[in-house]
Amino acid sequence: MTAEHFSPCPVFPGEVEDFYCTDCHTACSALSLLVGPHTGHSRVPLSLAARYFPSSLRRDAHTLLQRLRDEYERPRTEHLSALREAMEHVRRHKSRKLKEFQDIQCELMSLDRELDTLEKRHVSAICHWSRQRNLFPDEVRKLLRGADALTKAAGLNAGPLSPSDREVVKANDALQFSARQVIEKELEEVKHLLRNPLELLDAEKDEAMLHGGPVEDKPRNTPVDHIEQAMHFPFADGARRGDAKGCVDSTPLASDTQAVVHKLLATRSHCPVDPPGNSDQTIVNPDADPDDTLSPGCSVAGWRSAEEHRRWRDDVRRRERLLHEGIEHCLLGCMSR
């Protein structure tokens, strides 16, 4: 034989929690069902709930655990793994293509956009699954509260009763010893099933807050540009101010920008310093027009030397123009990010 234990209602003094709210999975008083926080909720007498609901709670716990695996753990792992593999594949592909810069510059820009899109999707996926994760702890705690309430109602508490509990204890001979054992086993199974997932979810949330901060706690209407925060280039501000030297010295260029500058500088460094031709010939001004430098009686060799000087001058100017355009393109690309 056992006795029912009814707790006093914390909302309405003088009332006892003799009903079980099936929506909130907690004990409540009759008055709280009429005008209190449980208005409109489904309820059953606490004595019947203590007898018949432990098995239902066990089924709900199994169902919730299966949903946790099917709707969160497995798809989250597959989704994030696929995104990580895609990003790693794009990075490897990008590093290979950087070696053939002149032929695949347009493709590199496309891959950069694709990588940015994947990173945004990865951040969005982390936020999405963080919100999904936050849906389960409340349901788990709700079932655990129900199990605790039924344990207390069935008189299975191991500790001594409080004075307030002793005042509201009523005798109930309908619950046999064997039924108590079954109920206790079912409630213990419910607690055992839900305790580990709850600890794992809480630990995962703490780890996410430790590494990335509570992104999901921010207001949903507040735009969060994670890529802009992660890809902040301090030297871009200096470039806007015109302090190019401070920009280059303070922060290294990105990989693709550095490849552009190095390629153009390498091309510029291989330019001939001295104009072609024999050293014993007359030096022609490279900025002057070849027709102006030739005298009426100039020989064919002198004309060829002047023509070579003109070609050398045009080549140097073309390379310098390409170098300046490449550097401006790199700085504008960095500032646009």
Q: Within this chain, do residues 136 and 242 fall inside the same structural domain, yes or no?
A: no
How many whole angstroms separate alpha carbon 220 and alpha carbon 124?
12
Q: Within this chain, do residues 132 and 245 fall inside the same structural domain, yes or no?
A: no
Q: Within this chain, do residues 153 and 209 fall inside the same structural domain, yes or no?
A: yes
Which residue, 228, 245, 267, sits at the end of a domain? 228
Q: Which residues of the chain have pLDDT under 70?
A: 1-4, 31, 157-177, 208, 211-301, 333-337
pTM over 0.85: no
Q: Within this chain, do residues 134 and 212 fall inside the same structural domain, yes or no?
A: yes
Q: Within this chain, do residues 134 and 239 fall inside the same structural domain, yes or no?
A: no
Outline where the chain has alpha helix (H). 30-34, 46-68, 74-98, 101-153, 163-167, 177-212, 226-230, 234-241, 244-250, 255-269, 290-293, 300-336
Q: Within this chain, do residues 238 and 223 fall inside the same structural domain, yes or no?
A: no
Which residue, 205, 228, 251, sits at the end of a domain? 228
Whether 239 and 331 have beta carbons less than 8 Å apart is answered as: yes
How many whole angstroms separate alpha carbon 193 and alpha carbon 69?
13
Orientation angle between helical segments 255-269 and 300-336, nearest 10 degrees: 170
Q: Within this chain, do residues 239 and 216 fall inside the same structural domain, yes or no?
A: no
How many whole angstroms separate alpha carbon 73 and alpha carbon 67?
9
Orientation angle between helical segments 255-269 and 74-98, nearest 10 degrees: 10
**Full residue range of the structural domain in which residue 78 is found:** 2-228
How many whole angstroms separate alpha carbon 20 and alpha carbon 258?
68
Nearest CA among 255, 270, 304, 263 for reference residue 284? 304
Q: What is the pLDDT of residue 249?
A: 40
Q: Within this chain, do residues 169 and 213 fall inside the same structural domain, yes or no?
A: yes
Domain count for the chain? 2
Whether 153 and 187 have beta carbons less than 8 Å apart is answered as: no
Q: Within this chain, do residues 162 and 260 fall inside the same structural domain, yes or no?
A: no
Rg over alpha carbons for the chain, rounded to the nearest Å, is 39
Task: Classify burial at 222, counting beta carbons within 10 Å of its beta carbon; exposed 0-12, middle 13-18, buried 19 or more.
Answer: exposed
Q: Within this chain, do residues 158 and 263 fall inside the same structural domain, yes or no?
A: no
Orientation angle between helical segments 177-212 and 101-153, nearest 10 degrees: 150
Residue 330 φ/ψ, nearest 5 degrees: -65, -45
Which residue, 195, 228, 261, sits at the end of a domain? 228
Q: Within this chain, do residues 191 and 244 fall inside the same structural domain, yes or no?
A: no
pLDDT tens digits, one per residue of 77-117: 999 999 999 999 999 888 887 777 777 778 778 888 899 99
Span between the terminal Cα atoms of the chain, in Å: 74
Q: Within this chain, do residues 102 and 162 fall inside the same structural domain, yes or no?
A: yes
> 227-253 burial by CB neighbour count: b if 16+ within 10 A, else e?
eeeeeebebbebbeeeeeeebeeebeb
How many other C-beta atoms can be found within 10 angstroms of the C-beta atom of residue 279?
6
